[in-house]
């Protein structure tokens, strides 16, 4: 990692994880970045400013009401030449104040006054993190283009287990590098990603679906776009925010997903099918609400088309990546799907594993290729899984040459 010549403003807020910001600062400085640290008042109760000042070799900024030597107002001046405002750890409180535009100390003023990219690494107790207030604030910040890294799941300072730990330092550094040194190794590719479940209507109010949250597919779309691909995300119903720089096509049913895919397929050079498509739909969904007085029903199902198989059959020079959610004999089942659907790679999700599968922010997968290779990845945040999948796509492209 080379951050030579980069200027980062590191905001440290009052979380028990503030001590980890010391290590983060050391790594950033080691990578060549010039780092100005801004501490909130409560952060100073956890770690002394002197620690940050010594390691950053710069004065630590804490006070809003001080003029710089050239009489510039601090909250305007501090991020002027900066490449990034990084807040780690970011408490529920500072996230809330950012999201509501409140500015009552130096850091919150910096956030409002800055036009630079912002990266937040939240850290708090699991119940706080899950609170709708915090979730809503994070969503709001995301829609403004603020990037969020973590939090990780694990043991928390309270003794609880859950999401809320500050993301690993290496994970934060990766997110920093992604912003400051975007890799463009997918430039020229047109990537179609599918994500989420499908809804197969029973009547106007009910439907068949599955537990897919869409997080894996959204992470892939975000990373693909960040790495320079023209990215189209065909998404089933999810509660997620559209990734930055991605064209999102919302669909509901498997048939709608198929139509959207086939529509965009001619221009695609890469197809990644992370959606959990319903294998069946009702043969005749009711157009009016089914009443309970209509006595117990038997639902007549018909198979949905296997979209991935259809795409595999006409893939040409495209790179096609499928997913397989399995519980039993994972690798054998996935190997079979890889060949049957004429794919280049298949990503196997062990949905039985701890921290893997639906609605988690982490996943445990293996990537199978046509040469019989099996790359087993450890438990990783979905964003990192996305990176590893796209690394394989880039490698395949390099081996094969242009996708046209
Ligand atoms: N898939 C698809 N269309 C379907 C069903 C699945 O495109 N009608 C895709 C999924 O997006 C995924 C892959 O096929 O990339 C594998 O999905 P999965 O449900 O694991 O496998 P199936 O082929 O449906 O096989 P089975 O249900 O027998 O495990």
Which CATH number do you get for residue 157?
3.40.50.1950
Q: Return the C-alpha torsion angle 134, 211, 353, 16, nearest 10.
A: 0
Alpha carbon distance 15, 19 (integer Å):
9
**125 plus 203 within the same structural domain:** no
What is the number of alpha carbons within 13 Å of residue 43 lying toward its C-beta? 33
Q: What is the CA(3)–ligand 1 centre distance, in A?
A: 42
> Which among 132, 148, 180 is the end of a domain?
180
Spatial contact of 97 and 86, defined as CB atoms under 8 Å apart: no
Which has the closest alpha carbon to 245: 264, 275, 218?
218
**310 plus 336 within the same structural domain:** yes
Q: What is the CA(325)–ligand 1 centre distance, in A?
A: 8
**Overall number of domains in the chain:** 2
Judged by DSSP in three states, 401 sits in coil
> Which among 180, 207, 241 is the end of a domain?
180
Longest dimension (CA), the chain: 81
**109 plus 203 within the same structural domain:** no
**156 plus 253 within the same structural domain:** no
pLDDT attached to residue 96: 98
Tokens of 41: 């008042």
Quote the radius of gyration of the chain (alpha carbons, Å). 24
Beta bridge partners of 321: 272, 345
Q: What is the CA(323)–ligand 1 centre distance, in A?
A: 7
pLDDT attached to residue 68: 56
Buried b (16+ CB within 10 A) or exposed e, 134-155: beebbebbbeeebbbbbbbbee
Report residue 404's pLDDT band, with 50, 70 and 90 as the boundaries: very low
Ligand 1 pocket, residues with Cβ under 6 angstroms:
254, 273, 275, 277, 279, 304, 306-308, 322-325, 337
Question: For the chain, how far is it from start to end, CA to CA, in angstroms?
Answer: 32
- Residue whose CB lies within 8 A of the most ligand 1 atoms, among 277, 280, 319, 341, for a mutation test: 277
Which has the closest alpha carbon to 33: 181, 226, 147, 150?
181
Alpha carbon distance 404, 401 (integer Å):
9
> Which among 180, 206, 240 is the end of a domain?
180
Closest protein CA for atom 24 of ligand 1: 279
Spatial contact of 232 and 246, defined as CB atoms under 8 Å apart: yes
- Residue whose CB lies within 8 A of the most ligand 1 atoms, among 279, 309, 315, 335, for a mutation test: 279
**212 plus 123 within the same structural domain:** no
Atom of ligand 1 nearest to the CA of 323: 15
Contacts of 43 by beta carbon, 8 Å cutoff, 6+ apart: 12, 13, 14, 15, 18
CATH code (residue 245): 3.40.50.10300
**35 plus 95 within the same structural domain:** yes
Q: What is the CA(140)–ligand 1 centre distance, in A?
A: 33
What is the number of alpha carbons within 13 Å of residue 371 lying toward its C-beta? 3
286-313 pLDDT, tens digit each: 999 988 887 777 899 999 999 999 999 9
Residues annotated as catalytic are 210
Closest protein CA for atom 16 of ligand 1: 324
- Structural domain for 162, as ranges: 7-180
**221 plus 159 within the same structural domain:** no
In a domain, 1, yes or no: no
H helices of 306-364, in order, are: 307-313, 330-340
Report residue 72's pLDDT band, with 50, 70 and 90 as the boundaries: low
**124 plus 207 within the same structural domain:** no
225-283 pLDDT, tens digit each: 999 999 999 999 999 999 989 999 999 999 999 999 999 999 999 999 999 999 999 99
Rounded-to-5 percentages of helix, strand, coil across the chain: 35, 25, 40
In a domain, 185, yes or no: no
Spatial contact of 69 and 2, defined as CB atoms under 8 Å apart: no
Atom of ligand 1 nearest to the CA of 321: 15
In a domain, 290, yes or no: no
What is the number of alpha carbons within 13 Å of residue 355 lying toward its C-beta? 17
Closest protein CA for atom 27 of ligand 1: 279
Q: What is the CA(73)–ligand 1 centre distance, in A?
A: 58
Alpha carbon distance 7, 78 (integer Å):
10
**198 plus 105 within the same structural domain:** no
Q: What is the CA(147)–ligand 1 centre distance, in A?
A: 32
- Lowest model confidence (mean pLDDT) among 140-149, 229-238, 299-308, 336-345: 140-149
Closest protein CA for atom 8 of ligand 1: 306
Closest protein CA for atom 9 of ligand 1: 308
């Amino acid at each position: 990692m080379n951050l030579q010549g980069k200027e980062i403003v590191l905001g440290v807020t009052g979380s028990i994880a503030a001590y980890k910001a010391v290590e983060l600062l050391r790594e950033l400085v080691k990578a060549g970045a010039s780092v100005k640290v801004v501490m909130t008042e409560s952060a100073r109760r956890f770690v002394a400013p002197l620690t940050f000042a010594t390691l950053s070799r710069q004065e630590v900024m804490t006070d809003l009401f001080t003029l710089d030597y050239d009489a510039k107002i601090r909250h305007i001046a501090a991020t002027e030449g900066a490449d990034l405002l990084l807040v780690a750890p970011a408490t529920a409180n500072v996230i809330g104040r950012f999201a509501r535009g409140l500015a009552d100390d130096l850091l919150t003023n910096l956030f409002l006054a800055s036009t630079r990219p912002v990266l937040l690494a939240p850290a708090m107790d699991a119940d706080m993190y899950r609170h709708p207030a915090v979730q809503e604030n994070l969503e709001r910040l995301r829609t403004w283009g603020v990037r969020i890294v973590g939090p990780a799941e694990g043991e928390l300072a309270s003794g609880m287990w859950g999401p809320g730990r500050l993301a690993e330092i290496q994970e934060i550094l990766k997110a920093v590098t992604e912003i400051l040194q975007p890799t463009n190794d997918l430039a020229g590719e047109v990537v179609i990603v599918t994500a989420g479940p499908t809804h197969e209507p029973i009547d106007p109010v009910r439907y068949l679906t599955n537990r897919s949250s869409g997080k894996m597919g959204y992470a892939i779309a975000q990373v693909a776009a960040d790495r320079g691909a023209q990215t189209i995300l065909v998404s089933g119903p999810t509660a997620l925010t559209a990734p930055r720089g991605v064209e999102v096509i919302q669909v509901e049913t498997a048939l709608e997903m198929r139509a959207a895919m086939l529509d965009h397929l001619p221009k695609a050079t890469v197809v990644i099918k992370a959606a959990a498509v319903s294998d069946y739909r009702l043969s005749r969904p009711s157009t009016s609400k089914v009443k309970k007085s209509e006595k117990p029903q038997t639902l007549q199902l018909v198979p949905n088309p296997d979209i991935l198989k259809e795409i595999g059959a006409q893939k040409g020079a495209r790179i096609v990546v499928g997913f397989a959610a399995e519980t039993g004999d994972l690798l054998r089942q996935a190997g079979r799907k890889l060949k049957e659907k004429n794919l280049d790679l298949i990503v196997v999700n062990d949905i039985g594993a701890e921290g893997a599968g639906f609605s988690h922010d982490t996943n445990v997968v293996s990537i199978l290729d046509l040469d019989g290779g099996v790359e087993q990845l450890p438990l990783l945040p979905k964003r990192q899984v996305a990176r590893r999948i796209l690394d394989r796509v880039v490698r395949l492209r390099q081996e094969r040459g242009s996708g046209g």
